[in-house]
Chain A
Amino acid sequence: MKTNLAHLTLAQQLKALKNGELTLTELYSELTNSIEQKNPHLNIYLNLDREALSKANSVKFKPLAGLPIAVKDNFCTKDLYTTASSKILEKMRPPFNSTVVNKIQEAGGVVIGKTNLDAWAHGSSTETSDFGRTLNPRNPDYLPGGSSGGSAAAVAAELCSAAIGSETAGSIRQPAAWCGVVGLKPTYGRVSRYGVAAMASSTDSPGPMTKTVEDAAILLNYLAGCDPLDATTSPSAVPDYTQALNKSIKGLKIGVLYQDLKGLESIQPLFQKELSVFKELGAIVEPVAALDPHYAISVYTVIQRAEVSSNLARLDGVRYGLDRTHFGDEAKRRIMLGTYALSKGYADKYYLLAQKVRTLFTKDFAKLFNQFDVLISPTSPGFAKKVGSSEGAAMFGELEDMLLEPSSIAGLPGISVPCYQDPDTKLFLGMNIVASMLHEPLMITVADAYEKNSSWNSWRLSQSN
């Protein structure tokens, strides 16, 4: 019997299925065994679709050929429990699909299961889930990051072909970095938010979490596009993102952000060493000063709390879910702080000021993108944190996501790719590559070139493509 089919990338699995070197039955049977073995300990999937294989066989002639996709449990899936990792929604079976799930199914992907997250996506650890924390498959003494920690872990542990996450400010890229996988956060409005449990509506962006940049480009082709059910989606035509792969980056200008930022000293040498990869490929790499990301934490904290308090106001326990007494500590903190920031006498002081500083960030990026094609920095200020680290830390996520928040509040696309693995702890660092609005192809080109010419991608190392 063939083994290790789950170690193939999504692109390789598609090829192998087409050539008849792999069958869906073999793949699903290996995955089912693997999930039974690993999930009780790692707590990645909250719920599995037991019908997945038969669903896969019924769509095997479509582009995604029935491949198993793990979906974060804040995306509504028709008749499959959707909890947002909150006890309030423990028994919620949506009567409809989110647009993202519809698009995956139309392309021939199968939702194999729903992955754990910080409750309501409020966090960066997957430790605030009402259904227990997820552990990092690279080293189970550590957290996977969050809030899409279950989806990142599902990819790292090879319990799916690829996964879907959602990011408000770091929730795709930071867990991707901590778990050593690829996480792509599209431009705000490129992928529909319809049917996703809303966190901060003005920055929420669904996106792929995958083994390679190529896999992310393939999935984004099916996820992106205008949706009449989400008025913030972009009417711009969707390019073929796979056309951005295998291209030269010679002459591209890459700006390196946050070189002198305090708190990054321990990882900065490891990150800086990787810049030679770009230089050898003929790119122009220069350090550049940007607005201090600490201010983005403040902006994001105000805007996100405010939008959370408004979005979660709909949870009244009448139409679905339990009543408001069942919110966890983190949700209570965020709802109440948002209520305060929007209340009479404080809305100008906090909310309006935050939206003004948000403008300063947008302008700063516009200036930077006049000089550079893409901007890069470490994804996170350090490696994955130990299990238990987020407990009682009111600003845990905001600090861990500090380097991502500026691009999130500006709505820009970003991708995190593995750029170092510690030989002892087996934990990863990620590199965040940011492009201007709707310039995902440029960002994919740079990420793909880096991935193929560096030595940190777990799946490229063992198999040449």
Chain B
Amino acid sequence: MSTINASQVQHIAKLAQIPITDNEAERLHDDFKKTLEVIDQLTELDTTNVEPTNQITGLENVCREDNVDQAHSFTQEEALQNASNTYQGYFVVPKILEK
């Protein structure tokens, strides 16, 4: 039986870069429990010697020529048109290093 505690939920939130409050952690913890119960049913089946499905199409080595495809390239203006913060033609990203 899989279990998970509230501090694990906070740790996962950090890994997923989703800030959550303690109240949210508590609620998510309940949802996790319900979902994990459903997932645990899988252990009832015999999967000895069963290969995992890595993909279902059966296609192999789908490649293309390594050429620049102008038809599917953005202009600088297009690339920036949905950014919330730009500076002289660049994206502005949040600072991650403290002084």
Q: Given the complex of chains A and B, what is the CA–CA distance between A305 and B17 in angstroms?
A: 16
List chain A residues, Cβ under 8 A from B56.
188, 202, 362, 410-411
- Quick check: is B70 within 8 A (CB to CB) of the other chain? no
Most chain B C-beta atoms within 10 Å of own C-beta, residue among A92, A335, A340, A343: A340
Range, interface on chain B: 35 or more
- Quick check: is A352 within 8 A (CB to CB) of the other chain? yes
Q: How many A residues have CB within 8 A of the partner chain?
A: 60
Taking a contact as CB atoms under 8 Å apart, the answer to whether B53 and A355 are in contact is yes
Q: Given the complex of chains A and B, what is the CA–CA distance between A224 and B7 in angstroms?
A: 47
Taking a contact as CB atoms under 8 Å apart, the answer to whether B35 and A337 are in contact is yes
Residue of B nearest to A294 (CB): B41
- Quick check: is A360 within 8 A (CB to CB) of the other chain? yes
Taking a contact as CB atoms under 8 Å apart, the answer to whether A336 and B50 are in contact is no
Partner of B50, one of A188, A298, A360: A360
List chain B residues, Cβ under 8 A from A355.
52-54
Partner of B83, one of A235, A302, A319, A354: A319
Q: Given the complex of chains A and B, what is the CA–CA distance between A391 and B25 in angstroms?
A: 18
Taking a contact as CB atoms under 8 Å apart, the answer to whether A339 and B12 are in contact is yes
1/0 per residue, CB under 8 A from A, across B7-40: the answer is 0110011011111100010001001101100111
Q: Given the complex of chains A and B, what is the CA–CA distance between A14 and B14 in angstroms?
A: 54
- Quick check: is A234 within 8 A (CB to CB) of the other chain? yes
Given A327-B18, A333-B28, A333-B31, the answer on whether A352 and B52 have CB atoms closer than 8 Å is yes
Most chain A C-beta atoms within 10 Å of own C-beta, residue among B4, B18, B44, B92: B18
- Quick check: is A47 within 8 A (CB to CB) of the other chain? no
List chain A residues, Cβ under 8 A from B94.
318
Taking a contact as CB atoms under 8 Å apart, the answer to whether B42 and A299 are in contact is yes
Q: Given the complex of chains A and B, what is the CA–CA distance between A302 and B36 in angstroms?
A: 9
Which residues of chain A have a CB within 8 Å of any CB of chain B?
A: 91-96, 188-189, 202, 228-229, 231-232, 234-235, 294-295, 297-299, 301-302, 305, 309, 313, 317-322, 324-325, 327, 332-333, 335-337, 339-341, 343, 349-350, 352-360, 362, 394-395, 398, 410-411
Q: List 9 A-B contacts (CB under 8 A).
A: A202-B55, A301-B35, A301-B38, A313-B17, A317-B84, A320-B82, A337-B32, A353-B43, A355-B53
- Given A95-B74, A295-B45, 11 more pairs with CB closer than 8 A: A232-B59, A298-B38, A298-B42, A299-B42, A336-B32, A340-B8, A343-B12, A354-B39, A360-B45, A360-B50, A395-B35
